[in-house]
Amino acid sequence: VQQRTLVLVKPDGVRRSLAGEILRRIEAKGYTLVAVELRQASDELLAEHYEEHAGKPFLAPLVEFMGSGPVLAVVVEGHRAIEGFRSLAGATDPTVAAPGTIRGDLGRDWGLKVIQNLVHGSDSEESAAREIALWFPAL
């Protein structure tokens, strides 16, 4: 099934000048970029984006980190793009993410309160629809 997924290059990825490398991997895999926008996320946007993590101990540091600089918000399209991008991204913890993945090749643990893992990708069709409407209401 043709799907759209929301990808965010997190502030660590933008700061480390890895946005181009990450877009390159998405395109090289064969997915289509539908929208790309560099933007400074507000606390309100991030609280909505991470509503499933409400009450978790890492939510406050996560929102602080995600607002610490611009993110590159991207809508990616393709057959099974949601699962496909999560596979490209690799496991949440970059220390154990498989080599060959974005997090496994480019990420590491910096010993901070929140895991900095370069990218976000929607985890289901429901979250993709919700997140795309949140970040790109015009799409």
C-beta of residue 118 within 8 angstroms of C-beta of residue 12:
yes
**Annotation says 120 is catalytic:** yes
* 5: nearest Cα among 119, 111, 91: 119
Instruction: Please give the Cα distance from 103 to 38 (Å, whole number).
Output: 20
* Annotated binding-site residue? 32: no
Based on CB atoms, which residue is closest to ligand CMP, 31 or 65?
Answer: 65
* Amino acid (one-letter) located at 82: I
| Smallest gap from residue 112 Cβ to ligand CMP (A) | 8
Question: Contact residues for ligand CMP (CB under 6 A)?
Answer: 58, 62, 92, 114-115, 117, 120
Among candidate residues 49, 53, 79, 120, the one labeled active-site is 120
* Tokens representing residue 100 in the block: 């060959």
* Annotated binding-site residue? 29: no
* Annotated binding-site residue? 103: yes
